[in-house]
């Protein structure tokens, strides 16, 4: 007879590739039902836009099917997008994640990326909103084919809905063809009005298409709500001129996480001979993201169909879903959703440290948001490694032999994993443990000493 423990033990072999943990530890396995040899359960992911959903489903199915006595396995993939911490305490209580989309300069295709990503995410079943805050060229109403003035419901504007995306544009606040000349306070006010004065309802992702460069709208947004992060759109030559980098730095100074960089107008493929031409050079954004240690989320080719469909109010991901360009937008949408998940899953209970410092190779100091400072000796950290080769994941017993860890061991590198963990590289070559903030706080040596003293 198989029991729930057998099924869960088997499912521990299935990892979420973005969160680097198994689906049981992540609490993804729900509604487990066993009826003789028939097993059914849900795998509740952190986004319906997960690019490896089918792969994980197959792995879960296979892992359980291999158990002796199992005759049938039914896996249902579900998703519940986790919210950014603190967003529920703002006027955007129904919105789970706000994602800013910025660029160094205008005309790089930022709004086109925003619109196609919104539609691609909505296609996966996510609840998506798009706020066009590009005061210099609000083009979203054209790209989504609805330009009428928004209606009011009580004292809030009702967003338009196109292709399953709820959207609002600063351009809709100004009637007709009047020019938009925004000064600082006006830009601030317009953002507040379109962000908080709109009845967005329940949303998994609210994408905000920002004006190019840096300015009042960016600052207002970063100061008004906790953002899940920002996506930077650039062209190859834009990165060469380091314009996008200024925008990226601005987000970093305002403590907004960078979800990744996208390269638009990356290359052109001749429609007649099929030859590829890297018109603006190639790989600039990929190289920049590598040196900045920011994820590179994909490249979009130059394709006149992108512009044509955008002008007709029907983004290419919907109008021609089988094109390379549509595929690129979908891949980027999956990447953005994954990056948001990395930042929202797992870390909710313990907030990220305010500082992590390697005081010397044998000592790491972490200061927590409540100002408590924890100091960890390198060997102590190594002995408390939570990875599967150091701890039996099922029983929780330590596998590591302390005698095998030299007193002289050092921490040679520290890497931040999303907003929930640190990874240490030790001088013995070990670096597979992800130290969740909750784990680090739990093993804080002075707190443990206090506890032991009663």
3-state secondary structure of 366: strand
Among 27, 69, 107, 413, binds ligand ADP (CB under 6 A): 107
For residue 215, state whether it binds ligand ADP (rule: CB under 6 A): no
Question: How far apart are the C-alpha atoms of 174 and 172, rounded to whole Å?
Answer: 5
Structure tokens at 265: 């107008």
Among 60, 98, 310, 326, binds ligand ADP (CB under 6 A): 310
Show contacts with ligand ADP in window 109-168 (CB under 6 A). Answer: 109-112, 137, 139
Question: How far apart are the C-alpha atoms of 79 and 68, rounded to whole Å?
Answer: 29
For residue 106, state whether it binds ligand ADP (rule: CB under 6 A): yes
Give the residue closest to ligand ADP by C-beta. 109
Distant-in-sequence, close-in-space partners of 137: CB < 8 Å, separation ≥ 6: 106, 111
| Piece of the chain touching ligand ADP by CB under 6 A; list 5-13, 34-42, 284-292, 300-308 | 300-308
| Piece of the chain touching ligand ADP by CB under 6 A; list 16-24, 103-111, 239-247, 392-400 | 103-111
For residue 326, state whether it binds ligand ADP (rule: CB under 6 A): no
* Number of amino acids touching ligand ADP (CB under 6 A): 19
Minimum Å gap between C-beta 350 and ligand ADP is 38
Which backbone phi and psi does 371 adopt, to 5 degrees?
75, 0
Q: How far is CA 103 from the centre of its chain?
A: 18
Residues 244, 249, 254, 259, Cα dihedral to 10°: 60
Question: How far apart are the C-alpha atoms of 97 and 74, rounded to whole Å?
Answer: 31
Minimum Å gap between C-beta 187 and ligand ADP is 16
For residue 169, state whether it binds ligand ADP (rule: CB under 6 A): no
Contact 236, 281 (CB under 8 A): yes
For residue 17, state whether it binds ligand ADP (rule: CB under 6 A): no
For residue 247, state whether it binds ligand ADP (rule: CB under 6 A): no
Instruction: Report the interhelical angle of 216-224 vs 184-196 (nearest 10°).
Output: 40
Among 246, 307, 399, 450, binds ligand ADP (CB under 6 A): 307
Which backbone phi and psi does 49 adopt, to 5 degrees?
-90, 15
For residue 314, state whether it binds ligand ADP (rule: CB under 6 A): no
Question: How far apart are the C-alpha atoms of 203 and 130, rounded to whole Å?
Answer: 10
For residue 299, state whether it binds ligand ADP (rule: CB under 6 A): no
- Given the rule CB under 6 A, which residues bind ligand ADP? 103, 106-112, 137, 139, 264-265, 300, 302-304, 306-307, 310
């Amino acid at each position: 007879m198989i029991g729930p423990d057998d099924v869960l033990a088997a499912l521990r072999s299935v990892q979420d590739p973005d969160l680097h943990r198994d689906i049981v530890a992540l609490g993804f396995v729900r509604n487990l039902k066993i009826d003789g040899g028939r097993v059914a359960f849900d795998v509740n992911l952190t986004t319906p836009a997960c690019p490896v959903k089918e792969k994980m489903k197959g792995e879960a199915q296979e892992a359980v099917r291999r158990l002796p006595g199992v005759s049938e396995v039914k896996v249902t993939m579900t998703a519940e997008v986790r919210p950014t911490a603190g967003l529920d305490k703002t006027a955007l209580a129904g919105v789970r994640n706000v994602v800013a989309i910025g660029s160094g300069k205008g005309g790089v295709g930022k709004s086109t990326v925003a619109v196609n990503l919104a539609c691609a995410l909505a296609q996966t079943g996510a609840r998506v909103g798009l706020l066009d805050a590009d005061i210099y060229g609000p083009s979203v109403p054209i790209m989504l084919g609805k330009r009428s003035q928004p209606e009011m419901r009580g004292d809030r504007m009702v967003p338009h809905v196109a292709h399953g995306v709820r959207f609002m544009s600063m351009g809709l606040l100004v009637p007709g063809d009047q020019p938009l000349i925004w000064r600082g306070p006006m830009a601030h006010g317009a953002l507040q009005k379109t962000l908080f004065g709109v009845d967005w309802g329940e949303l998994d992702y609210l994408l905000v298409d920002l004006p190019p460069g840096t300015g009042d709208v960016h600052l207002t947004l970063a100061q008004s709500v906790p953002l899940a992060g920002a996506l930077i759109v650039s062209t190859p030559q834009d990165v060469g001129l380091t314009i996008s980098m200024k925008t990226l730095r601005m987000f970093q100074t305002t403590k907004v996480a960078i979800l990744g960089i996208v390269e638009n107008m990356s290359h052109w493929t001749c429609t007649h001979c099929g030859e590829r031409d890297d018109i603006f050079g190639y790989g600039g954004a990929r190289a920049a993201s590598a040196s900045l240690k920011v994820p590179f989320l994909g490249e979009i080719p130059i394709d006149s169909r992108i512009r044509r469909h955008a002008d007709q109010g029907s983004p290419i991901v919907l109008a021609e879903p089988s094109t390379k360009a549509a595929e690129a937008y979908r891949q980027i949408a999956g990447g953005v959703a994954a990056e948001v998940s990395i930042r929202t899953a797992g870390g909710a209970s313990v907030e990220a440290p305010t500082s992590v410092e390697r005081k010397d190779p044998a000592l790491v100091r972490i200061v927590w948001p409540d100002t408590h400072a924890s100091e960890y000796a390198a060997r102590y950290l190594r002995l408390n490694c939570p990875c599967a080769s150091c701890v039996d994941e099922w029983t929780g017993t330590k596998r590591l032999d302390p005698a095998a860890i030299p007193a002289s061991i050092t921490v040679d590198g520290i890497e931040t994993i999303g907003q929930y963990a640190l990874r240490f590289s030790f001088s013995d070559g070990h670096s597979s443990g992800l130290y969740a903030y909750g784990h680090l706080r739990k093993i804080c040596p002075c707190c443990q000493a206090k506890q032991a003293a009663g």
